[in-house]
Amino acid sequence: MPRRHWSFWMPPEEHRFIRYFSDLYRGLLTPLGQTLLWGTGAAALMMLWGLRPAIAFFAFCTGMMLGALVVGLPFRPRLALTRRLPPPVSAGDTLRYQVVVENPGRRAARKVVVEELGLRPELRPVGEPTVIESLGPGERVEVTLSLDCKARGAYELPRLQASSFFPSALVKWPRRAPGKDRLLVYPRFTPLAGFDVPHGRNHQPGGIPVASSVGESTELAGTREWREGDRTRDIHWPSLARTGRLVVKEFQEEYFVRLAMVLDVESRSAQDDALFERSLSLAAGIADVLARQEYIIDLFAAGSQVFHFQAGRALAHFEHILEILACLEPEDRLDVGALESVLLPEASRLSAVILVMMDWDEQRAALIQKLKQHGVAVRVLSVRPGRRPEGLAPDEVVELP
Amino acid sequence: MSDAPSSDSQSARGWELLPVLAALGLNAVAHNRWLLCVPVAGLLVAAVALRFRPEHSSRRLLLSAGVGTGLGALMLLWGAVPTPIPPVMMSPLCGALVGLSAFCALSGRRFYAVTYALILTALSSAVPDSRGTYLGLLAVVVSLLVSAFGHGRMGRSGVAGAVGFGAFVLLTVGATFGMGRAIRMSEGMLTEALFRMSSYAPKVTTLMPRDITLERHARLPETGRLLFELRGAKPALLRTAVLDTFDGTRWTTSSALEEQRLDPVPPRADETLRETELTVLEPLGPALPAPAGTRAVAGVNAQARGAWVWRANRLQEGTVTLKHEAREQLPSEPAPGAALTLLPEELRAELRPLALEITRGATTPREKARKLEAWFRDNYEYSLSVNLQGEGSPLAVLIREKRPAWCVYFASAMAALLRTLDVPARVTGGFVPEEQNPFSDAFLVRDRDAHAWVEVYLEDEGRFVPFDPTPWRSRETIQAQYSPGALKNAWQAAASFVRRGLSRLMTSPLEALGAMAKHPLTWLVAAALLAWRGLSRYWLKRASQPKAAMRGTDPQLTAAHARYLRTLRGAGFTPGPAETDDELLSRLRAARGENVARAAEEFITLYRRARYGSGPVDAASLGALTAALERTLRSERPHA
């Protein structure tokens, strides 16, 4: 989830207490009720001068609010709510999901509105909520809610509310779902037209048998004449039956290409945060390209500490990478020494390293050189405008799209 | 408030327009803005009929507000109705709201339109009563209810919707009337509370109100707010108000007394008057507490009014000096007319038998007054709550049943009883200073020291004489509960000292500085400062020389050593960073011979004595040694 740099001048919905009052305001009043509340406030001010028409108008506004509050109480719905969330979407997309509304009560619920409250400002409800005219006892209905997901992150959907504004159309009496759901929003992909996956010279130990760790999944490459020392279990019995000579099976080891993706999470300002989001978006694009091929990807998130995530070769590994990218937070500084101490011991087992850098300086350049000395192919991206990586071969620098 | 564009249906748009049209109508009626509101309403209706819907944008919204403001300002040419907000602001503001609500209604932002319309309604309703205004308000109310019905689509809920909405309307009507009644009952309280909270509200203390109503059931709030303090001669009573007219339940000051101006006899040069310094701590209003016999007031422009009550303008802070006679008595004056023996006939008839019974045996007004004073003091209890419910007037109940009360009731009763006996009497209000701060010796006068007593005109003296019927023994019991602690007294004394000092400095700086210069404490502090300064200089001077040398801060020493090092460097001997003086001397001896080493050793010995020893060293001798070293270095050739 992107970190927020607190500022008095940030948009009002970013302030927690404003969100709280906004939720109360939206959760308990219909738009017409909100309108009346403003009218009541203005009338209260005008009433202070003690003029009778102003007092009469104030009395009417407050009377209408009180009347709406009292008359709606007996119609407070008794409802059970369940969200049915689809797979995660990317930042900037609209998430549509269903909410199952069930009436376990004995009376019909009228004029029911289902809406999400307590949402972070990165998630915005789209459109007007649907009104369920009437839901009889035991009846169940599905409504579709839409959320505009503006930024990546792992969010909580804290309050799902079903409320009835019957019969005043001013005040909503709510019923809230007890459970909270987690919503993951992936970073937006930056599509990379042609990303040339680098390959280094390093031997890749392990391979499929090690990676699978169950059974013998080496590939049959062919057969040959038996030689002294061959295992009897490798004898190819059909060939023996056909030729009368001992023939053994030959196998070929299959290897994965193991890549590391290093994400520089150094960010010191709101401008840096925007660049950081861009770097994550690029990383998601690269992961998308890599996921189409049989690569094992190691992800290093490097800030003041270095976190190492290893993704498997299972089909779900791309989703896992996106989940990690969705939850990464920026840090104040990049500790290149810490990154070296984690990355260089792994270098001998890596074919290539893709580095998404927030900036370009001598320390970062020295790290690249050390990686190259270990025989690792590198691809470097620097997201900061005007800080293109220097001292590298042209094919080692990835141009920003 | 989210406000998506509403539907395009003509009838739906018509319903949505209702509150806006009603608000425009109300503004036209209440503020006489027909020229603005009627064309706008006509345009709105025409636009809906012609299905005209402009695009909503912030720029257009601002433009509509601007145009509305301009038109509202233009409307001022046709006059303005009186409103609490000045017309110069009210008219453009209403114009802006007209523009905003009309544009939002046209562009389909119905909830914004209704919001602006309701604010316009609130502003329009801030006018005096008129039938048209109430009709306009009714139109807004009805349009709002219709909007709620339409917005909630209650028609789709059939009978249940109609019944439910009907119940809502009934409840709204009931709550509206209930709220209106509650507001009318508490009229003014809220406004007053708000103004009290405001720091701009003047904090006027009414020491003794101009009129006193004798309630049958009442309670006196007990507050310990410090109002002013007194220094110098302590007066027994401080007068602030004289109430000479009584209608049976209410004492007031007559206008004749209020408007009368008196000229006290100015103090003669050879006359010695007592002086009381009064420091105001809370704004006192126009009444200046002063004892009887006050001849002059310094520090404020004060005027003696009827019955020798002193008035001063804007007495909010500062110190005032009261110059009064040692004997606190009012000046002689001719006998008052019949006004001071007036009483309602019913009350006179009710009280006279009681008065005659109490004063049986007394023949002169003085004796009658003394008897009555003693009777009240002996037979009554002081209390901060009074209950005079019973048969007859409150005073009759008080006298007949001897119920507990406070000073105002006792004074009223005694004055009334005297009047029934045709003895001129009046009620006087003021303060009785009692509490003394042991730290400042000042007398502190608080809210709770307010008091009322009776002034009786005695013909034999030719003046009004005070009599106090309040039973002090029980009042003192109550007062004793509120005696402040030593810490509070000390704090009050310190605060008062600072406040008075600052006040004097502001009002008469020369006098204040002169007083400060004469004060023995000033001389004591000055002497202590001088002693400390002299001693510290002596000790610092003794300690400073070796310390400066130890720190290497003596500039002569530093210069001599620098010259010594320069000489050695010139000869090619730069001391190493870890090289000691002795090692350097050994190096010199080996390289340039014994003479050079000896000359350097002499310098270094003297320098060490000056730097690290305690004895004084002449800088000139150090310079001479360095010069000798230079000469020796020049004369002695380096060893091969």
DSSP A237-256: HHHHHHHSS-EEEEEE---P
Contact B244, B257 (CB under 8 A): yes
Task: Give the distance from residue A40's alpha carbon to the nearest chain B alpha carbon, in angstroms.
Answer: 8
Please tell me the predicted confidence (pLDDT) of residue B6.
55
Measuring CA to CA, which residue among A357, A332, A191, A333 is closest to residue A275?
A357
Q: Report the residue of chain A nearest B113, measured CA to CA.
A: A35
Which pLDDT band holds residue A137 (cuts at 50, 70, 90)?
very high
Does A206 have pLDDT greater than 60? no
Predicted confidence band at B442 (pLDDT cuts at 50, 70, 90)? Answer: confident
pLDDT of B165 reads 92
Least confident of A79-83, B138-142, B485-489: B485-489
Mean pLDDT along residues A342-357: 86
Q: Which residues contact B458 (CB under 8 A, 6 or more apart)?
A: B365, B366, B369, B464, B465
Residue B319 has a pLDDT of: 80
Option in A36, A39, A63 nearest B175 (CB)? A63
Angstrom distance (rounded) from CA A381 to CA A399: 7
Confidence of residue A216 (pLDDT cuts 50, 70, 90): very low
Higher pLDDT, A205 or B37: B37
- B28 — pLDDT class (breaks 50, 70, 90): very high
CB contact under 8 A, A32 and B30: no
Q: Which of residues 115-174 of A touch B (CB under 8 A)?
A: 127-128, 131, 133-134, 165-170
pLDDT higher for A164 or B192?
A: A164
What does the angle CA A27 – CA A33 – CA A38 come to, to the nearest 5 degrees?
110
Residue B171 at interface with chain A, using a CB cutoff of 8 Å: yes
Given a cut of 90, whether residue A223 has pLDDT beyond it is no
CA dihedral B574, B578, B581, B585 (to 10 degrees): -60
Interchain pair B118, A36: CB under 8 A: yes
| Structure-token pair, residue B349 | 């008839």
Q: Residue A291: which pLDDT band, with cuts at 50, 70 and 90?
A: confident
pLDDT computed for residue B222 by the predictor: 64
Cα–Cα dist B136/A253, whole Å: 91
CA separation for the pair B331, B427 (Å, rounded): 17
User: CA-nearest residue of chain B to A52?
Assistant: B129
**C-beta neighbour count of A98 within 10 angstroms:** 14
Q: What percent of chain B has pLDDT over 70?
A: 88
Report the amino acid identity of residue B419. R
CB–CB contact A64 B144 (8 Å): yes
Among candidate residues B401, B426, B402, the one with its CA nearest the CA of residue B416: B426
Task: Give the pairing type, strands B425-431 and B238-243.
Answer: antiparallel
Model-level pTM? 0.53
Put simply, the answer to whether B164 touches A170 (Cβ < 8 Å) is: no
Identity at B295, one-letter amino acid code: R
Question: Which DSSP symbol is given to B155?
Answer: G
SS (H, E, C) B375-426: HHHHHCCECCEEECCCCCCHHHHHHHHCCCECHHHHHHHHHHHHHHCCCCEE
Taking alpha carbons only, the member of A167, A134, A109, A106 closest to residue B163 is: A167
Query: Which residues of chain A lie closer than 8 angstroms to B115, CB-CB?
Result: 34-35, 38-39
Mean pLDDT value across chain B: 83
Least confident of A4-18, A371-385, B156-170, B430-444: A4-18
Question: Is any Cβ of chain A less than 8 angstroms from the Cβ of B439?
Answer: no
H or E stretch at B170:
helix B158-185
% of chain A residues with pLDDT over 90: 25
Angle at B243 between CA B232 and CA B361, to 5 degrees: 95
> Comparing C-alpha atoms, which of A166, A57, A67 is closest to residue A109?
A166
| pLDDT above 60 (res A315) | no
Stretch B409-423: mean pLDDT: 91
Strands (E), A231-376: 247-252, 257-264, 295-302, 306-310, 352-357
Q: What percent of chain A has pLDDT over 70?
A: 88
Per-range mean pLDDT, top range of A133-142, A336-345, B221-230: A133-142
Higher pLDDT among residues B610 and B67, named by residue? B67
- Contact across the interface for A67 and B175, Cβ inside 8 Å: yes
Work out the pLDDT band at B371, boundaries 50, 70, 90. Answer: very high
Per residue in B536-590, pLDDT (tens digit) is 777 755 555 555 554 555 777 777 888 888 888 888 888 777 777 888 888 888 8
Q: B25 vs B3, which has greater pLDDT?
A: B25
Is B108 in a helix, a strand, or coil? Answer: coil
Which residues, 6 or more positions from A82, have their beta carbon under 8 angstroms from its beta carbon?
A99, A100, A102, A177
pLDDT score of B628: 87
Q: Chain B contact for A99, CB < 8 A?
A: no
Residue A322 near residue A365, CB atoms below 8 Å: no
- The confidence score (pLDDT) of residue B5 equals 56
Q: Does B543 touch chain A (CB under 8 A)?
A: no
Mean pLDDT score of chain A, rounded to an integer?
83
Q: How far is CA A13 from the centre of its chain?
A: 21
Q: Read off the pLDDT band of B465 (50, 70, 90).
A: very high
Please, which residues 79-138 of chain B have a Cβ atom closer than 8 Å to chain A? 84, 111, 114-115, 118-119, 121-123, 125-130, 133-134, 137
Please tell me which residue of chain A has the smallest CA distance to B126.
A54
CB B122 within 8 Å of CB A39: yes
User: Is A45's Cβ below 8 Å from some Cβ in B?
Assistant: yes
User: How many inter-chain contacts (A to B, CB under 8 Å) are there?
Assistant: 175
Q: Quick: pLDDT tens for B61-95.
A: 999 999 999 999 988 887 777 777 888 889 999 99
pLDDT on residue A310: 74
Q: Is A18 on the interface with B (CB under 8 A)?
A: no
For residue B619, the Cα-to-chain-centroid distance in whole angstroms is 69
Whether residue A167 is preceded by a cis peptide bond, meaning omega within 30 degrees of 0, is yes
Q: Nearest CA to B118 among B148, B89, B88?
A: B148
Q: What count of other Cβ atoms lies within 10 Å of the Cβ of residue A61?
A: 28
CB atoms A169 and B2 under 8 Å: no
Contact check, Cβ <8 Å, A31/B3: yes
Nearest by CB to B111, which of A31, A68, A70?
Answer: A31
Structure confidence at residue A59 (pLDDT): 94
Pick the closest to residue B114 from B260, B16, B39, B255 (CA basis): B16
pLDDT of A215 reads 40
Percent of chain B with pLDDT over 90: 22
Cα(B8)–Cα(B280) distance, integer angstroms: 72
Give the tokens for residue A358: 């927030």
In A284-323, the residues whose Cβ lies within 8 Å of chain B are none
Confidence at residue B414, expressed as pLDDT on a 0 to 100 scale: 92
Element (H, E) at A283: helix A270-291
